[in-house]
Each structure stands twice: as C-alpha cells, then as structure tokens.
Amino acid sequence: MNGAAPALPRAHGDAVLRARSRTVAEDFFVEELPGFAASGSGEHLLLTVEKRGMNTAHAAERIAAWAGVPAAAIGYAGLKDRRALTRQRFSVHLPKRRLPDLGALAREHGDERLRVLEHAWHARKLPRGALAGNRFALVLREVDGDRDLVEARLQAIAAHGVPNYFGEQRFGRGAGNVGQALAMFGGRRVRRDERALLLSAARSELFNRALAARVARGCWDRALDGEVWMLDGSRSVFGPVPHDAEIARRLAGFDIHPSGPLWGRGELRSAGEAAALERAALADPDALALRAGLEAAGLKQERRALRLRPDGLRWHWPDARTLALEFALPPGAYATAVLAELGQIEDAQRRAPSREAGVAEAPGEG
C-alpha cells in the first residue's frame, strides 16, 4: 500500500471546479464551538485562543511553558491544523488559582501567531471531544469551472449532504500512515504516540473503503437490508430494524443516518445486504491485514455515520474566480470531505512535515 491513495468516489457526480485553498492561512478559518459554558470557579483556567501557523500540540506546549506547568496539565477538546487560522479552547491546571500574565502568552513570529481571546475559571480539565462542533469560513481562489454547475453542486450538497469520509489529513502524505500501520502490525516497533495515530489511520482507511463502496453503488444515503442507524449529532446507534415509513421519514429529515464500521473485535452489528457489502469492500489482503491488526490491538467494533450534512451552508463570490464558503460540522467531521464534492482542490500550503508539525492533524476533527 504505497504511493498516492486512490481518489474516493464523489456522491454528486464529476468535479465541477478546480481551485486552490489556503493561499494564506486566513483562507481556512476554523472556530471550535464549545460544548459547555465555563463554571466560573475551580482550579482550571479555561482559555479561548486564536492561533495561526501552529497546530494544537505545539500551542499546548507553548501554553504549558508559559504557565510553568507540565504538559499533562493542559487539556484541549479537539485537534486543529497548523495551516489555518483557528480558534479553540485549552484548559490549564493551576491549583493555586494564580493567573499568569495573559499578555506574555501572546506570540507573533513569522507565520506563527497566538493570542488569548477569552479566559475563565472552570472546575475540570477540558477533555477530548468536549466540543459541539466546528464552524468554518473557507476561501477558494483561482476557481476554474462553470459557475452554474458549481451553484448546482452546492445546492445538492446543502440538500443531500456528502459522504462522511475521513479526510486525507488522517493518512499522511501519500497515505503513508496506512502503510506504516501495516508495518506495525507486521512487528515493527513504534512509539506510543505513533501507535495511536497508526491505529486511527488503519481504522479510517477501512471505513473509507466501506463508504466508497456504497457511494459507488449509490446507496450511501439510503437504507439497505440489515442497516444500522446512527442518531444525528450523537454516537448512539440502533438496529438493524426493518425499513418502514417511520425510518424513511427520519432518514429524509436527517434525524438518522446509515452507518459504517469502525473496525475492531467482535461481530459486525450490521446484517444482511449491509453487512455483505461491508465485508466485500474489506476483503482484499491489505484490508484483511488491517482488520487483523486492529483486532489484535484490542479495539472494539464501533460505527460512524456514512452521511454528513454541513449546517448553515452559505456561499458567495467575492469576484469571478473566488468562492467563499461558510458552514458548521459536528465533531469528527472533515471540511475537506465537503470540498472534495466540488472538485480538485489544491492545498497551496501543503509541504513536507516539519518536526513541529508532528502528528498529522485534521481541521474539523473533534
């Protein structure tokens, strides 16, 4: 499994544009939507920061150094990319409730910028996943495509959603993380932090394959026999249940979504046609090796929604070759999955990873 990953099939037809994203970091703006309000008291300083040119891990290191605390004292809800302008929360455990100089945390050097927008005291460390979602404001430049076709595609996305693929950020350059996962499953030793990344990449690869098979068959957003359903905005699942008028109503209203496998130990929850398609999509030697490796690592079978609908999707054309988009996504969803339905989007800031970049991170991942 070497070289570039194969292109994932689009749900709404062939590409309708070519464009460049992230010409500057401000072209990819991500704002974390908080999952709760600060309690106003406690030993944890809750910071809302704006950062440019640094990923979440690097920002956490800077905050720990500024506060004079170990890395374990810092909490954050989700990962945000380096190649963007982002706003997100961090918590800092300060048992003596001393408030360090907030101005001293501010940093502006080259592409890097870090500043505090809000602060409050809170009772607990900010845990991973404690966010309601992410809001995006994206700018595509040098757009090449028929505007009427682009408008029609955006309307289709707003009405029907997009396949909920894991973004390419999860897999590293040329899908290298998946190849490294296979090597790890074959006995190569890796660091603990790398192990978590590679397990995640392996699981994501299998999910994308199963989803791609359903997109290719035109059934990614409708019921199959043996379907397992996921509640919108939740990780709760139910089924399989017989398809009836109530299921059809809830599916049409985006209250529930078909789901696909996040591989691990145990039996697939799906049955019938849905399970048969999932197994067929994950039956080649590489997929079987990834499945076996995830099972041996102790992960358990879970599910993920196959369908994603951007909330509040809006767009406008600042000029003839520039398209600006705004929308919100739930935790764990990728803005790149939305952009991919439009066409070929070149990331103008993509470059070889640096030491600071560390783990490949995904904007919009919860």
Class of domain 169-307: alpha beta
In the chain, residues under CATH classification 3.30.2340.10 are 169-307
Q: For residue 290, give the amino acid letter.
A: L
Cross-strand pairs, 87: 31, 50
pTM, to two decimals: 0.90
Q: What is the pLDDT of residue 362?
A: 40
Q: What is the pLDDT of residue 356?
A: 33
Cα distances (Å, whole numbers) of residue 319 to 18, 323, 324 = 16, 8, 10
Q: What is the pLDDT of residue 358?
A: 35
Distance CA 341, CA 330 (A): 18
Q: What is the pLDDT of residue 175?
A: 62
Report, as residue numbers or ranges, the catalytic residues: 81
Q: What is the pLDDT of residue 7?
A: 84
Q: Which architecture characterizes domain 26-132 according to CATH?
A: 2-Layer Sandwich (3.30)
Q: What is the pLDDT of residue 293?
A: 97
- Tens digit of pLDDT per residue, the chain (366 long)? 544 456 899 999 999 999 999 999 999 999 999 999 999 999 999 999 999 989 999 999 999 999 999 999 999 999 898 889 999 999 999 988 788 888 889 877 777 899 999 999 999 999 999 999 999 999 999 999 999 999 999 999 999 999 999 998 888 766 689 999 999 999 999 998 899 999 999 999 999 999 999 999 999 999 999 999 999 988 899 999 999 999 999 999 999 999 999 999 999 999 999 999 999 999 999 999 999 999 999 999 999 999 999 999 999 999 999 999 999 999 999 999 999 999 999 988 775 343 333 334 444 454
In the chain, residues under CATH classification 3.30.2350.20 are 26-132
Structural tokens at position 190: 């890796």
Q: What is the pLDDT of residue 173?
A: 65
Distance CA 197, CA 78 (A): 14
What's the per-residue H, E or C state across the chain?
Answer: CCCCCCCCCCCCCCCCEEEEECCCHHHEEEEEEECCCCCCCCCEEEEEEEEECCCHHHHHHHHHHHHCCCHHHEEECCECCCCCEEEEEEEEECCCCCCCCHHHHCEEECCEEEEEEEEEEECCCCCCCCEEEEEEEEEEEEEECCHHHHHHHHHHHHHHCEECCCCHHHHCHHHHHHHHHHHHHCCCCCCHHHHHHHHHHHHHHHHHHHHHHHHHCCCCCCCCCCCCEEECCCCCEECCCCCCHHHHHHHHCCCEEEEEEECCECCCCCCHHHHHHHHHHCCCHHHHHHHHHHHHCCCECEEEECEECCEEEEEEEEECCEEEEEEEECCCCCHHHHHHCCEEEEECCCCCCCCCCCCCCCCCEC
Distance CA 188, CA 101 (A): 45
